[in-house]
């Protein structure tokens, strides 16, 4: 890919959109199975809100992965770093436990976790309730997505063959 006659930014954006599409398809499969188990959809608009947040999560974390990968020398190191990074981010996001029940130290850390805002946005879309204002969640996650695309594009441009 790095010797193709296209710009590195185009490659990075293509990789980001491809990874985000894969994550969206996987998330949609889980969401559909969950809807069959729950037996209801709160509203079509809420379902679309959840999908929008899933798209933003997919784009931002795929771009973050490309930023990390562009600095790594081997694949094994990349997998180790990503697992070391992703598990705490997921654990502190509020997906496994409500942020309101967490100790104050974990609440503060969770508010610095961008996935928290994605989880709260999906929760708002599917359930109609959220601990964080959905507009604030959207703006923060959109800003994080843009920052990760810019960071990933900058670092991917510097990759040497």
Number of folded domains in the chain?
1
Which of 3-12, 24-33, 59-68 comes out lowest in average pLDDT?
3-12
Residue 74 domain-assigned (yes or no):
yes
Q: What Å distances lie between residue 110 and 100, 113, 133, 136, CA to CA?
A: 10, 5, 15, 15
User: Which one-letter DSSP state was computed for residue 100?
Assistant: G
Tell me the pTM. 0.86
Q: Are 92 and 109 in contact (CB under 8 A)?
A: yes
Helix (H) and strand (E) counts for the chain? 6, 0
Residue 3 domain-assigned (yes or no):
no
Alpha-carbon span 62 to 88, nearest angstrom: 17
**In which domain, by residue range, is 116 found?**
8-157
Residue 83 domain-assigned (yes or no):
yes
Alpha-carbon span 107 to 93, nearest angstrom: 10
To the nearest whole number, what is the mean pLDDT of the chain? 86
Residue 1 domain-assigned (yes or no):
no
Q: 89-147 pLDDT, tens per residue?
A: 888 888 888 888 888 898 899 899 999 999 999 989 988 888 899 999 999 999 999 99
Phi, psi angles (nearest 5°) of residue 57: -65, -45
């Amino acid at each position: 890919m790095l010797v193709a006659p296209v710009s590195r930014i185009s490659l990075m954006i293509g990789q980001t959109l491809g990874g985000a599409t894969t994550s969206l398809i996987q998330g949609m499969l889980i969401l559909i199975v969950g809807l069959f188990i729950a037996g209801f959809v709160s509203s079509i608009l809420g379902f679309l809100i959840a999908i929008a947040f899933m798209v933003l999560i997919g784009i931002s974390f795929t771009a973050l992965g490309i930023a990390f990968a562009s600095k790594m020398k081997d694949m094994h190191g990349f997998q180790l770093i990503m697992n070391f990074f992703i598990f705490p981010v997921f654990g502190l996001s509020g997906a496994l436990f409500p942020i309101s029940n967490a100790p104050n130290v974990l609440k503060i850390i969770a508010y610095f976790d961008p996935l928290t805002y994605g989880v709260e946005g999906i929760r708002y879309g599917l359930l109609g309730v959220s601990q964080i204002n959905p507009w604030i969640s959207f703006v923060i996650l959109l800003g994080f997505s843009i920052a990760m695309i810019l960071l990933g594009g900058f670092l991917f441009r510097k990759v040497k063959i």
